[in-house]
Every structure is written in structure tokens, then in C-alpha cells.
């Protein structure tokens, strides 16, 4: 009985040892490419989704987004509220902003963009806006007549929405902010470029500058963004913050992502479709490779049957051979993907209008796709082996 169990493995070893080395190398190369293709598609779309989500969090909403209570335009006593939020376990920092309902004018060009008054020091801790200044410098607490504008406001050659911009405003030049019949001139201190269109259509002044213009806005905010620590449950943190604030609306970033949430969901759907196509391509490729390999051994199979080797042993030997091909292909694909492809795209990311996307592959996705390749390989070995074993014995011996 034990010899019967060992026989399929012995036959598999003989197939590998006595087979043509170039055929073995080609088969393993095709298995490796099929696996890399399958995980590359998934990791690319996952990277785009992850990159766009991080853009929303790091430039606009933070991990948690707070708005005034229903029926109110402002969050009052915001300094105390910010301190209370930062005292919550799991919160790294919080930053309050107040929207300024004003227009900006430059060289007789006027636009109605979103203008926010911020505490620059707090904003540095919650968003990465300070790191995205491509010209000039970021605001400081004491800036009373300085402004940061996004690239889509500044405009210039290559800017996506240049037609609706200032057509090339530069650092050091003046813009006029106007609202309710009041105007104030600001100097452009910096131009931000986050590579996220919505973020690049915003302007920022310090809350000190706004309090000089509208004293009644002091210690109030229209929104508060919160950054949580890594590995912190945002849902739990939201619940705790809600219990500390009376009636303010507290949201996860995903609840206020707007259009980008729909874009992310679209990418998920495309990822599922492309993954299915990738599995189909891998299945066909593996089936053809293994089928050709088995057809070339048809005479061998006939001889084995003639000397009394049971059909199920022959079938099992080819199933094991297919499994060996798949395991080695997955192992080689994993090494190439992890140590060559991923590092390359970390250094040279895909430049997209919404983010610079790198390859992201979760352990779950990796395991699912590795198992898929293995099962496809086993089935691809089982079907042609079964067909060949059931063929006419004399034809098999003659290689027909």
C-alpha cells in the first residue's frame, strides 16, 4: 500500500528529472509570469485606491471630520474643543479651520475658491499641506497679510484648470481678498501642489489674519479635522469624540469623501473585473502549457499503462507535477514581485491626476491569488491527464 502511495511522487520526480530542461524552464517561466500578472493587476488598482484615499485624508479631511451642530454655522469655543479632542486616547492632533466666504482677485482675474483660515502649527500636525509647498514657504502663526494658494488657483503652463485660474501668479505677488464690501491685499507666500485637484483649488490664511478682519470669528471654526494614531480604531475614536461634544457632527473621513468615494468604489469594481480576466488568462495559459507537456508524454503514459500502472496513479502523478509547477511559479513570482517590481514602482510610481500610485498588495489578496493559481494548475493537470489515460491504450503507446 505504501509503495502505491509513493509511486505517483516517484513518477513525478522522473518526469522532472528525465524531461527536457528547456521545457521545464519555459513551463516555470510561464507559471511565474501568470502569477505576477495576476497580482500586479490587483496591487495596481489597490495602490490607486489607497493613494487617492490617503490624498483625501492627508490634504483635506484628516481621519475624522467635525462640522457644527445642525442649525449652526460655526463651532464655538474651538480652542477648548481642540484640546478636549487631543486628550482622547488614540488622537494624534486636531486642527480647526474656518471658511472665509470671499473672492480672490489678481491682475483683474477673479475667482470664488475655498479660502480657509487655519492655525499653521496645528495644520502641520494633521495634514501634509506644509510639505506640499512647491514655491515659497508655508504660513506661520504671525502672518497677517500672507496667503497660500493652490496650484489650480495660481495657474500657469501645464495646470489642469488653467482656464479658470490666475494664469501664472507667482510667490511675492499680491492678491486681493474681498467679501461683504470689504477688501484686503495679501502677498502670496507659497503655492501648494498636492497632486489632488480639489486640494489644489484652496487658499489658506492664518486665523490671526482673519481675526484682524472679522474679530467675531475668533475662537470659532467651521470644521475640525482630526488625525489619529496608527493602528487606532477610528470608529471607536469617533464614538468617544461624539460623547464629548454636545451636538457637533462627527464623521469618519470616508463619510465626507464625496465624489472620490464613488471613484474608489469604481476602481474596486474594475479591480474585480480585471482580476477575473487575469485568472481566466492564467487558467488558459497554464492549461495549454501542461496539456502540451502531457501530450508530449503520451507515449510514456501508454507504456506505464501497459506495464500495469493503474490509471489513477498516472493521473495523480500529473496532478502532483502541476502542483509542483504552480508552487515553484508562485515562489519565483513572489520573489520577483517583492524584491524587484514593488521596489521599482516605489521609486518610480504611476503619476496620476489624483495621486502618485504605488503597488499595494495585502496578505489576504496575495493568499487568494496564490491559491487560485495553484487550484487552476491542479485542474489544468487533472483534465488532460484524465483524457489521455482514458484514450485507447495502443494509440497511446504509438503516441497517436
pLDDT tens-place string over residues 231-273: 888 888 998 998 888 777 899 988 887 655 566 666 677 777 7
Closest CA to 95 of 274, 223, 186: 223
Look up the pTM and report it. Answer: 0.77
Q: What angle do CA 173, 179, 181 make, to 5 degrees?
A: 110
Q: Alpha-carbon distance 134 to 149, whole Å?
A: 11
The 10s digit of each residue's pLDDT in 371-382 is: 888 888 888 778
Q: What is the pLDDT of residue 3?
A: 57
The 10s digit of each residue's pLDDT in 107-143 is: 989 999 999 999 999 999 999 999 999 999 999 999 9
**Res 2 pLDDT > 90:** no
C-alpha dihedral sign at 44, 48, 54, 57: negative
Q: What is the pLDDT of residue 247?
A: 73
Q: What angle do CA 305, 308, 314 make, to 5 degrees?
A: 50
Q: What is the pLDDT of residue 391?
A: 66
How far CA 99 is from CA of 118, 178, 185, in Å, comes to 9, 14, 18
**Res 43 pLDDT > 70:** yes
Q: What is the pLDDT of residue 5?
A: 67
Q: Residue 341 is inside which H or E element, if any?
A: none
Q: Alpha-carbon distance 163 to 109, whole Å?
A: 11
Q: Report residue 209: phi and psi, to 5°.
A: -65, -40
Cβ distance 240 to 233 under 8 Å? no
Cβ distance 91 to 83 under 8 Å? no
Please give the radius of gyration of the chain, using alpha carbons only, rounded to the nearest integer: 31
The pLDDT > 90 percentage for the chain reads 38
Contacts of 116 (CB under 8 A, 6+ apart): 97, 98, 99, 100, 202, 203, 204, 205
SS3 of 160, please?
coil
Q: What is the pLDDT of residue 95?
A: 95
**Res 20 pLDDT > 80:** no
Q: Which residue has the higher pLDDT, 398 or 190?
A: 190
- Which pLDDT band, with edges at 50, 70 and 90, does 1 fall under? very low
SS3 of 155, please?
coil
Q: Is 107 left (phi over 0), alpha (psi -120 to 50) or beta?
A: left
For the chain, the average pLDDT equals: 85
Cβ distance 210 to 98 under 8 Å? yes
Q: Alpha-carbon distance 205 to 305, whole Å?
A: 84
Highest mean pLDDT among 7-11, 194-198, 302-306, 386-390: 194-198
Angle between helices 363-389 and 298-306 (to 10 degrees): 60
* Beta strand residue intervals within the chain, DSSP E: 64-67, 75-76, 91-100, 103-106, 109-111, 114-118, 133-136, 146-150, 174-179, 182-192, 202-206, 220-221, 223-228, 249-252, 350-351, 356-357
Taking the mean position of all CA atoms in its chain, how far away is CA 386?
43
C-alpha dihedral sign at 43, 48, 53, 58: positive
Q: Report residue 360: phi and psi, to 5°.
A: -130, 120
Angle between helices 363-389 and 259-296 (to 10 degrees): 30
Amino acid at each position: 500500500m505504501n509503495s502505491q502511495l509513493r509511486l505517483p511522487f516517484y513518477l513525478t520526480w522522473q518526469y522532472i528529472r528525465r524531461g527536457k530542461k528547456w521545457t521545464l524552464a519555459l513551463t516555470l517561466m510561464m507559471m511565474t509570469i501568470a502569477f505576477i500578472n495576476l497580482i500586479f493587476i490587483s496591487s495596481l488598482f489597490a495602490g490607486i485606491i489607497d493613494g487617492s484615499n490617503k490624498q483625501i485624508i492627508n490634504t483635506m479631511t484628516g481621519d475624522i471630520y467635525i462640522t457644527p451642530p445642525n442649525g449652526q454655522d460655526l463651532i464655538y469655543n474651538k480652542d477648548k474643543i481642540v484640546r478636549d479632542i487631543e486628550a482622547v486616547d488614540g488622537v494624534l492632533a486636531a486642527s480647526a479651520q474656518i471658511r472665509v466666504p470671499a473672492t480672490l482677485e489678481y491682475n483683474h482675474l477673479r475667482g470664488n475658491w475655498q479660502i480657509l483660515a487655519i492655525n499653521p502649527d496645528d495644520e502641520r500636525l494633521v495634514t501634509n499641506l506644509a510639505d506640499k509647498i512647491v514655491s515659497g514657504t508655508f504660513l506661520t502663526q504671525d502672518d497677517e497679510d500672507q496667503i497660500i494658494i493652490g496650484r489650480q488657483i495660481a495657474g500657469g503652463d501645464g495646470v489642469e484648470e488653467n482656464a479658470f485660474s490666475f494664469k501664472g501668479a507667482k510667490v511675492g505677488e499680491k492678491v486681493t481678498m474681498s467679501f461683504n464690501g470689504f477688501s484686503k491685499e495679501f502677498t502670496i507666500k507659497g503655492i501648494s501642489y498636492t497632486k489632488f485637484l480639489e486640494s489644489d483649488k484652496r487658499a489658506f490664511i492664518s486665523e490671526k489674519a482673519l481675526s484682524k478682519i472679522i474679530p467675531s470669528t475668533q475662537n470659532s471654526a467651521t470644521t475640525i479635522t482630526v488625525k489619529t494614531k496608527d493602528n487606532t480604531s477610528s470608529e471607536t475614536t469617533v464614538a468617544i469624540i461624539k460623547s464629548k461634544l454636545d451636538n457637533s457632527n462627527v464623521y469618519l473621513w470616508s463619510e465626507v469623501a464625496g465624489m472620490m468615494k464613488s471613484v474608489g468604489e469604481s476602481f474596486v469594481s474594475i479591480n474585480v473585473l480585471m482580476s477575473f480576466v487575469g485568472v481566466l488568462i492564467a487558467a488558459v495559459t497554464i492549461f495549454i502549457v501542461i496539456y502540451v507537456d502531457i501530450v508530449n508524454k503520451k507515449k510514456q503514459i501508454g507504456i506505464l499503462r501497459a506495464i500495469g500502472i493503474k490509471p489513477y496513479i498516472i493521473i495523480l502523478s500529473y496532478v502532483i507535477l502541476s502542483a509542483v509547477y504552480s508552487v515553484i511559479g508562485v515562489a519565483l513570482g513572489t520573489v520577483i514581485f517583492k524584491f524587484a517590481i514593488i521596489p521599482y514602482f516605489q521609486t518610480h510610481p504611476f503619476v496620476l491626476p489624483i495621486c502618485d500610485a504605488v503597488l499595494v498588495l495585502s496578505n489576504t489578496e496575495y493568499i487568494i491569488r496564490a491559491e487560485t493559481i495553484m487550484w487552476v494548475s491542479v485542474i489544468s493537470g487533472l483534465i488532460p491527464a484524465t483524457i489521455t489515460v482514458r484514450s485507447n491504450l495502443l494509440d497511446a503507446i504509438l503516441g497517436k
